[in-house]
Structure 1
Amino acid sequence: MPPREQLSELLDPATTVLLTVECQQGVVGPDSALPELALEARRSGALANVARLVSAAHADGVQVIHAIAERRPDGRGANRNARLFRAAERLPVQQLSGTTAVRVAAPIEVAEEDLVVRRLHGLSPIQGTDVDPLLRNLGCRTLVVAGVSANVAVPNAVFDAVNRGYTVVVPSDAIAGVPSEYTPAMIRNTLALVATVATTAEVLGCLEGPRRARIRPA
């Protein structure tokens, strides 16, 4: 884990954005299309930790972006060039635009100032979406990536952010994938090579530090 001073320097609220990845009801909710992943996200505490990060971001003036994956009912524009996409078409719960499946899942709270970016194609929350131009307009330098899954969307987001010049922080206990043992191995052997890996508690400590300093009695 990085030294507290180094992490605090990276997590300046003015230049930090929190990106939640596919934390939507149809993915991590009780009626998920991917029940094994939904169960792991809740059992591991990852979803609860995402909610804690979002709450802290709201309190500390850190911009939150929720990245949602969805598809049109007619499937227009959706990828069909990989097994994952073809399998998704046959799932009993579809991530259809405008349905409850593509709403941000509890216990995560969406504030009025949050941005919600929806994509109809691909594997990445960043490539080919509005996320990158939004980050640049927000003056983002550090992107905190949390959510699901550690198998596909989260590493895609991390790689794409790094390729675009952002520094990435990954709260290791705020992402989930399947099987459960895959996530720590992927973090250790892949994400740790390109991102700063910390815990949710460490990230919260850095975000909340400036707020505590502001409200400390004279």
Structure 2
Amino acid sequence: MPPKNQLVEQLDPDTTALLTVECQQGVVGPGSALPELADQARSSGALDRVALLVAAAHRAGVQVLHAVAERRPDGRGANSNARLFQAAGRLPVQQHRGTDAVRVAAPIEVAAEDLIVRRLHGLSPLAGTDVDALLRNLGCRTLVVTGVSANIAVPNAVFDAVNLGYAAVVPSDAIAGVPAEYTPAMIRNTLALVATITRTDDVLACWQERPVRE
């Protein structure tokens, strides 16, 4: 955990964006294709904390982006080069474009100024999507990464953000993976080496102290 003043500076609303990763109904909602992951995201409180961070970002003027993974019904353009993709294609709930499965899940509130970035391929919310260009156009230097899963998409987002020159911040209690004990191990042994690890309350405190400038 960095010193408070350092975290406040790093999370300046003018140069920070908040990214929610795959917080969509078909992943973390009641009818999830991945019920174990959905249960962990909800029972751990991670999804509720993502919602708190999104609400605080809206109040402080921090740009919010929602990264959504989806597929075309015909699968065109989707990967098939890993067991994960092959298994996903056989799941009873499909993340098809235009369906409820790819809508941002409650209790997260999507504001008119939020940006929703959708991808049809790959593992990363950043690589091969519009996120980098959008962040640069917004003058962003810090990316706060939240959501699921700590197994794959969240570390992909963190690594890609760092490779692109952004400072990555991870509220450790606002991400989830399976099994439950995997998430703290991933944070401690991997993400802590490349990102600032903090907690939701600390991020909320920073944004309360640094209201949006007139």
Q: Same fold (TM over 0.5)?
A: yes
* Distance across 1 between alignment mates of 2:48 and 2:4: 23
Letter in 2 for 1:27: V
Q: Deviation at 1:142?
A: 0.3
* Distance across 2 between alignment mates of 1:82 and 1:195: 27
- Residue 47 of structure 1 corresponds to 47
Q: Deviation at 1:83?
A: 0.2
- Residue 14 of structure 1 corresponds to 14
Q: Deviation at 1:211?
A: 2.7
Deviates more, 1:187-196 or 1:202-211: 202-211
- Residue 25 of structure 2 corresponds to 25
Q: Deviation at 1:3?
A: 1.0
Q: Which runs of 4+ in 1 moved over 3 A?
A: none
**Matches of residues 100-111 of structure 1 in structure 2 within 5 Å?**
100-111=100-111
* Distance across 1 between alignment mates of 2:178 and 2:85: 17
3-state SS in 2 of match to 1:110: coil
3-state SS in 1 of match to 2:210: helix
Gaps of 5+ in 2: none
3-state SS in 2 of match to 1:211: coil
Q: Calculate percent identity across the aligned residue pairs.
A: 78
- Residue 34 of structure 1 corresponds to 34
3-state SS in 2 of match to 1:104: coil
- Residue 134 of structure 2 corresponds to 134
3-state SS in 2 of match to 1:170: strand
* Distance across 2 between alignment mates of 1:207 and 1:198: 14
- Residue 94 of structure 2 corresponds to 94
- Residue 115 of structure 2 corresponds to 115
CA contact (8 A) 2:13 2:211 kept: no
- Residue 65 of structure 1 corresponds to 65
CA RMSD of aligned residues (A): 0.9
Structure 1 length-normalised TM: 0.97
Gaps of 5+ in 1: none
Structure 2 length-normalised TM: 0.98
3-state SS in 2 of match to 1:64: strand
* Distance across 2 between alignment mates of 1:211 and 1:102: 32
* Distance across 2 between alignment mates of 1:190 and 1:97: 33
